[in-house]
Amino acid sequence: MEVNGQVLHESLPRGSSACAVSLSGRTLVARLPNGEVMKMDLRRAEYHRGGAGGSQFVYASTVLGGPTFVTEDAELHRAVNLAWSSAHARAQPRSAGSGKRHLPHSQKLALGILASLLALVVVAFLMVGPLVRVTLRFVPRSVDSRLGQEAYPHILKQVGFGSGAVEQDSIREPVQAVLDRLSAAVPNNPFFFRVAVCRSPMVNAFALPGGQIIVTTGLLGSLESGEELAAVLAHEMNHVLFRHAMQMTIRASGLRFLAYALSRDHPVAGVATAVWSAVGLMSMSRDKESQADREAVRLLADASIDPKVMVPTLGRLAPAELRPARGAQASAGGSLFEKLRSHPETGQRIADLEAAIASISPVVAPQPLDIDYGALLEAVGALEAAPMPRSSLGGMASWDR
C-alpha cells in the first residue's frame, strides 16, 4: 500500500519533496518522483502529529541527518503502530528463571531514581507535541536568534550547493534596503532582520528563527519589481515574528530542543538539521501560511507599499510548484504526487489575500521604494552568467513560505 506523503531531507534541492510512502516490515519506504528511494527504520524513529488540527502523521528519524516522512493517511499509521508494537514485543528480554530475585536497597534506590527521570522525560516529550505554543511562551526570543545563527551556515550550504552568500553590493544592498523599509514598520520589533542572497536556481526564500532571511537569485530573477520583492519578504518576516519556525523546530526535534534551550553554551547535535526540517514542514501548514499572508498585507500597508502586489506575486511564483511530474514518472505516478498539497491551494490563497486587502482601512497611499530593480536584475544576470562552482540542480521550487 502506497500513500501520498512528503519527505524532508537536507540532500533534496528544496529540502523537501513529494513522495509515495509505504511500510515494509519495520521499515518506512519513501519513493520520490525521480525514482530515488529513502528508508527509515522504525526502531530508530519518533512520531508526532503536525499540520492544521494535527491532521498530519510525522515520522522523524532519530539518526543524525536522517529523513522525516509526513503523511495524512490514518490506515498507514495504524499499520506503523502495529509494526512498532511488534518490534517492541520482540525486543523484550526473557526471564532467566521463575524464582523471585531480591535486589539490594542501593539498587532499588538507583532504579527508582532512573524510573523518575524516565517519567520526567516522557512527560516532557508528551508536552512538546500538543502544547508547543504553550512551551514556546517560556522560551526567550534570544534562543530564536542563537538557533538561527547556528543553523544559518548549514542551511546556506544546502540552498547554495556550497557557494555561500552573494557578496556583491549591487545585489545584496537593494534587497536589504527593502527589508529595512519593512522592518521600520514593525512596532516594537523584537528581532534584527537581515538578508543573505544565495546563488541558487531554486525560486525560494527561507525565514530562519531570529530574523535571518535567505533569498535565492532564482527568486530575484523571477520577480519584476521591488514591490514584489517586498511582498515575499513581508511574508517571510511574519514567519519570524510569529515564531513559526520555532514551533515547527520544537515539533521536529522534541526533547533535543528543550536540552538546547537550557544548555546556553553547549548546542545539542542535530538541532540545526531540525531547523532545516522545520522550514520544510512550515510550508505545509495551512494555518501558518495563511497567517503569514494576512499579516504580510498589513505590514506592506504599514510600510506604505501597496498590498495588492501580493496577488500578482503569488500568481507569478506559485505555478512553478504545481507543475506535474515529467516523463515516465508522469504516466506512472504523476497524479499521486500532484494530489499532495498540504499547504493552502493557490486559488484559495489568492481569495484570502484579496479579502485581507479589502479589509485595509484607510486605503494605502503607496510611497516608491528607493531601489532600481532593473539594475538589480542586471547584476543578478551577470552573476548567473559566470560559471557555477557546482552544477545546477534545476529551479523546480517556488516561493510558498
- List, for residues 18-67, the tens digit of each pLDDT value: 899 999 888 999 999 888 999 998 888 888 776 666 678 888 888 777 88
The three cell numbers of residue 79 are: 499499520
Is the model's pLDDT at 273 over the cut of 80? no
Give the Cα separation of 159 and 139 in Å (integer): 28
Give the Cα separation of 390 and 388 in Å (integer): 5
pLDDT of residue 171: 96
pLDDT of residue 391: 41
Q: Where are the domains of the chain?
A: 1-89, 140-385
Contact 369, 313 (CB under 8 A): no
Sign of CA dihedral 117, 120, 125, 128: negative
Q: In Å, how far from its chain's centre is CA 74?
A: 23
Residue of 209, 269, 223, 245 whose CA lies nearest to 380 = 223
Give the Cα separation of 120 and 131 in Å (integer): 16
The three cell numbers of residue 353 are: 489575500
**pLDDT interval class at 130 (50, 70, 90):** low
Q: Alpha carbon of 264 to those of 142, 252, 268: distances in Å?
A: 10, 20, 10
pLDDT of residue 229: 97
Contact 38, 372 (CB under 8 A): no
Strands 212-216 and 194-198, by their bridges, are parallel
Q: Alpha carbon of 81 to those of 67, 132, 250, 392: distances in Å?
A: 19, 23, 23, 40
pLDDT of residue 50: 66
Give the Cα separation of 249 and 90 in Å (integer): 32
The three cell numbers of residue 127 are: 508536552
CATH topology of domain 1-89: PH-domain like (2.30.29)
Buried b (16+ CB within 10 A) or exposed e, 359-394: ebeeebebeebebebeebbebbeebeeeeeeeeeee
What is the strand order of the sheet 56-61 is part of? 37-41, 27-31, 16-24, 3-8, 68-71, 56-61, 45-50
Is the model's pLDDT at 84 over the cut of 80? no
Angle, CA of 296, 365 and 353, to the nearest 5° = 30
Give the Cα separation of 133 and 269 in Å (integer): 23
pTM for the structure as a whole: 0.60
Say whether the peptide bond before residue 362 is cis (omega within 30 degrees of 0): yes
Mean pLDDT computed over 253-273: 57
The more confident residue out of 250 and 179 is 179
pLDDT of residue 124: 54
Q: What's the start-to-end Cα distance of the chain, in Å? A: 31
* Residues 203-226: tens digit of each pLDDT: 888 889 899 999 999 999 999 999
Q: Tell the residue number behind the cell numbers 516608491, with chain if given.
A: 368
Is the model's pLDDT at 283 over the cut of 90? no
pLDDT of residue 389: 57
